[in-house]
Structures are given as structure tokens and as C-alpha cells.
């Protein structure tokens, strides 16, 4: 099973709201990723967790706050976002040896 | 610096015709190479990957890719395209580091349109 699930599928929020995106995988992968993707562009890496510890933060603004409660779950907490943060947010998980990443279906975020 | 180039931004082929999507990479070591496909509004689906061994790699949905070290290329092919293959295709290089995380460097993508 190579499934990564993400909720919600769509999210509309105002600039003063606080919301969270959730990601789950049951493949036993120890690395999990958050990406941001704008239309007609490749995904841009935001954060990487390895063994539940934050290992990479690609200089993402602090209004995005990741959390990895356990090896199967990854959250992205959102606060005081800007309209330019509207995008598709993708979660991925990866195995240790192969570095193959498996992506979830994404959350389409709209910031008003 | 590592990079991935997909020279064709947009390709249109007729249904039933053959397809080749180009990918060139720049990487100092033996690369991990991937092709992903993305339908509108969806996540990325792994089509195939190359780590080592046989340079001709078979993937899902009838796709294959050939690794050519001398040309730094990893082109994706399909002998007969179906209308459902219309999507965005991304080539990526995986950076194998000392940590257990593998960063991916993506190309800019190729949009495939299929004519009936």
C-alpha cells in the first residue's frame, strides 16, 4: 500500500484564521515532507521530518508551523496567512533506503 | 549545482501515437531519477524510478524510461498514448545524502495534451 492521505481536500481561510492541514501514512516510512505547489509549477519543498524530528526547513515563514506527533502523522499549522499563500499543499512520505517519495492528493488552500 | 531540465514545456500528441518526454539532469554523483505524473488538482503519482542496474526502466501505465549517463538524460517514453495520459509530467533527481531524507530536485514540468 503506497497511500498517503491528506485532509481536508479544500480549505478556505481568512488572513486572521488559524487552521491545520493533516497528513497520514501507514507505510512505515520514517521521512515525511511538506511541499507547496503553485499552478503550472513544480512542488517546492517546505519541511522535512526524519524520525519525527525536523531535519529541513527551507526558510519557510513562521506563519507555517509543522508538527510530527508520531511516525505516521504530519500536521501543518497555519496562522495569519497571506493571499499569496494560496496553493496546493502536498504531503509526501519516503522510505529510508530508496529515497522514493510517495505523495498525497494535496490540500487546495485559498486565503482570502 | 544540481538541476533538472525538461526542455519541452508543452507537448501535443495524437491518441495512439508514440510519446517521448525529455529530461536532462546535472548532478555530480550517480543520481536517483524519478518520473511523476500529476493530473489537474491531484497529487503526484510515481511512474517509475531508476537507482542502478538495468538502464531501461519499466513503470506503470505502460511507461518506460532510459537512463543514459553519457547524455545525462532520463527520457520517458510510451509507445501508444491514451487520452487519459493528458497531464503534467515531472522529472526529478533525488539527492542521496548522509541523512535519511532525500531531497528531490524537480524539473519545471511538461504538459502533455492528447488530441483525439
Question: Does the pLDDT at position B98 exceed 60?
Answer: no
- Give me the residue from B43, B103, B104 closest to A105, CB to CB: B43
C-alpha cell at position A84: 499569496
Q: Give the distance, in angstroms, between the CA of residue A70 and the centroid of all CA atoms in the same chain.
A: 15
Please state whether the peptide bond connecting residue A63 to the residue before it is cis, i.e. omega within 30 degrees of 0. Answer: no
Task: Choose among B72, B100, B76: nearest CA to B90.
Answer: B76
Average pLDDT over residues B35-44: 94
For residue B100, the model assigns a pLDDT of 44
Average pLDDT over residues B57-70: 96
Q: Is A103 on the interface with B (CB under 8 A)?
A: yes
Average pLDDT over residues B25-34: 86
Q: Measured between beta carbons, which residues in chain B are less than 8 angstroms from residue A68?
A: none
For residue A68, the model assigns a pLDDT of 96
Average pLDDT over residues B46-64: 95
| Mutation choice for A interface testing from B2, B46, B100 by most A CBs within 10 A | B100
User: Whole-angstrom Cα distance, residue A64 to residue A51?
Assistant: 20
Task: Choose among B41, B29, B11, B14: nearest CA to B115.
Answer: B14
Q: Length of chain A in residues, anyone? A: 112
- Give me the residue from B42, B106, B111 closest to A106, CB to CB: B42
Dihedral sign for Cα A35, A36, A39, A42, please: negative
Dihedral sign for Cα B52, A29, B37, B3, please: negative
Helices then strands, counting H and E runs in chain B, come out as: 0, 12
Note down pLDDT in tens along chain A; length 112 residues: 569 999 999 999 999 899 999 999 988 898 999 999 999 999 999 999 989 999 889 999 999 999 999 999 999 999 999 999 999 999 999 976 557 899 999 999 999 9
- Give me the residue from B45, B46, B108 closest to A42, CB to CB: B108
Average pLDDT over residues B43-66: 95
Amino acid at each position: 500500500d503506497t497511500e498517503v492521505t491528506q485532509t481536508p481536500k479544500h480549505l478556505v481561510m481568512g488572513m486572521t484564521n488559524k487552521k491545520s492541514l493533516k497528513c497520514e501514512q501507514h507505510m512505515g516510512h520514517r521521512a515525511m515532507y511538506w511541499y507547496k505547489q503553485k499552478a503550472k509549477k513544480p512542488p517546492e519543498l517546505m519541511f522535512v521530518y526524519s524520525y519525527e524530528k525536523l531535519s529541513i526547513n527551507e526558510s519557510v515563514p513562521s506563519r507555517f508551523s509543522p508538527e510530527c506527533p508520531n511516525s505516521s502523522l504530519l500536521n501543518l499549522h497555519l496562522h495569519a496567512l497571506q493571499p499569496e499563500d494560496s496553493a496546493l499543499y502536498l504531503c509526501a512520505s519516503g522510505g529510508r533506503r530508496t529515497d522514493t517519495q510517495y505523495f498525497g492528493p494535496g490540500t487546495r488552500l485559498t486565503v482570502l | 549545482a544540481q538541476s533538472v531540465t525538461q526542455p519541452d514545456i508543452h507537448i501535443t500528441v495524437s491518441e495512439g501515437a508514440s510519446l517521448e518526454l525529455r529530461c536532462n539532469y546535472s548532478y555530480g554523483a550517480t543520481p536517483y531519477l524519478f518520473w511523476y505524473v500529476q493530473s489537474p488538482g491531484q497529487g503526484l503519482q510515481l511512474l517509475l524510478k531508476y537507482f542502478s542496474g538495468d538502464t531501461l526502466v519499466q513503470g506503470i501505465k505502460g511507461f518506460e524510461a532510459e537512463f543514459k549517463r553519457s547524455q545525462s538524460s532520463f527520457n520517458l517514453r510510451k509507445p501508444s498514448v491514451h487520452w487519459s495520459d493528458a497531464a503534467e509530467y515531472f522529472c526529478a533527481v533525488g539527492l542521496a545524502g548522509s541523512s535519511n531524507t532525500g531531497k528531490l530536485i524537480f524539473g519545471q514540468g511538461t504538459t502533455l495534451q492528447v488530441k483525439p
